[in-house]
Chains A and B, each alone.
Chain A
Amino acid sequence: AQKVTQAQTEISVVEKEDVTLDCVYETRDTTYYLFWYKQPPSGELVFLIRRNSFDEQNEISGRYSWNFQKSTSSFNFTITASQVVDSAVYFCALSEIIQGAQKLVFGQGTRLTINP
């Protein structure tokens, strides 16, 4: 069965610090996709990144970067120079295809609080 583990339930840092959110996954599929979503207090899940299992290149988007390592089944997310607006719950997710559509298996989420 597919599983995503986000071991850090809550993280609290001071603004401008760098912070890394961990994500470890389990799957038997050779082809799969990994995602990160942000859920601010307003409740809407905001898509951040999608990565397929054949692409292990790290990705950087502004202050956000992602490190995908198949050898350790990890897909970690780093925020550099954190800001108060980064405060949210962050979910890592793994896809599986069921009956022609994608089912997201979510981790339990990491609540990130950035203090001014």
Chain B
Amino acid sequence: DAMVIQNPRYQVTQFGKPVTLSCSQTLNHNVMYWYQQKSSQAPKLLFHYYDKDFNNEADTPDNFQSRRPNTSFCFLDIRSPGLGDAAMYLCATSRQPYYEQYFGPGTRLTVT
């Protein structure tokens, strides 16, 4: 039944050690999004893919990259995690613009 799957649910990485978070979907949606959510804050959009077109938010640090090898999968790469990157990372999908977004359960990243 899971529609948007994120792995792992919890990730611990060391300061400066690259980490990759994954997201997959069974909905065949065109758009995939990555959000960062820090404690007691609203989700903040990092970037999104509309099909193969990548769109970066202006204030997303260069440290964050993304890949979408096919419709179903999308990855978030953090090249050199800092302590300030500790957060919940949420993946979402939508069929088309203006449609509702469906979120995965999130990956909670801890940086030690």
- Nearest chain A CB to B61 CB, angstrom units: 18
Tell me, yes or no, whether B86 is within 8 Å of chain A by CB: no
A62 at the interface (CB under 8 A from B): no
Our count of residue pairs bridging A and B at CB distance below 8 angstroms stands at 62
A33 surroundings in chain B (CB, below 8 A)? 98
Q: A99-B53, A107-B42 are in contact. Are A43 and B88 (CB under 8 A)?
A: yes
B7 to chain A, nearest CB (A): 14
Provide the A87-101 mask, 1 if CB < 8 A to any CB of B, else 0: 000010001011111
Residues of chain B having any CB pair with chain A under 8 Å: 31, 33, 40-43, 45, 48, 50, 53, 55, 88, 90, 92, 94, 97-106, 108
Q: List 29 A-B contacts (CB under 8 A).
A: A33-B98, A35-B100, A37-B103, A42-B105, A43-B88, A43-B105, A44-B106, A45-B92, A47-B100, A50-B100, A52-B98, A97-B97, A97-B98, A100-B53, A101-B31, A101-B33, A101-B50, A101-B97, A102-B94, A103-B45, A103-B48, A104-B45, A104-B101, A106-B42, A106-B43, A107-B42, A108-B41, A109-B40, A109-B42
